[in-house]
Amino acid sequence: MEFWKIAFVIPVILFMVVVAPIWITMHYRSLSRSSSSLNLEDRQAIEHMLETVDKLTERIGTLESILDADHPRWRDNTSHSGGAGQGEHHES
C-alpha cells in the first residue's frame, strides 16, 4: 500500500514543481503577446478616438475663451460641491 502512495505522490510533486510553472509561464506569455499586438481595425479605432479627443479639447478651449471674454469671473461661480447652478436660477 505504501508503494501506491509514493507512486502517486512523486508524479504529482514533479508536475507541481516542473510542469505547472512552465505551463503557467507560457500561458501568460502567450496572452501578453496576443494582447500587445493590435490589428488594423483596433489601430484605426484608436486613431479615430485620438482625433475626437483633439477636436473636443480644442472646442473646450474655445468655449473657455468665449466664457472668459463674456464672463471673466465664470470660474469663480462654479460650485465645488456638486455642479454649477444648483439651487440658483438667474433670469436675464
Task: State pLDDT tens for residues 18-42.
Answer: 889 999 999 988 887 776 677 788 8
CA distance 9 to 15: 10
Which range is least confidently modeled, 5-14, 49-58, 68-77, 83-92?
Answer: 83-92
Q: Is the pLDDT of residue 46 over 60?
A: yes
CA distance 56 to 60: 6
Cell of 58: 480644442
Average pLDDT (51-66) is 94
Provide CB contacts within 8 A for 74, sequence distance 6+: 67, 68
DSSP one-letter string for 20-88 = HHHHHHHHHHHHHHHHHS--HHHHHHHHHHHHHHHHHHHHHHHHHHHHHHH-TTTTTT--TTT-TTTT-
- 39 versus 62: the higher-pLDDT residue is 62
Cell of 91: 433670469
Beta-carbon count within 10 A of 3 CB? 7
pTM score, whole prediction: 0.44
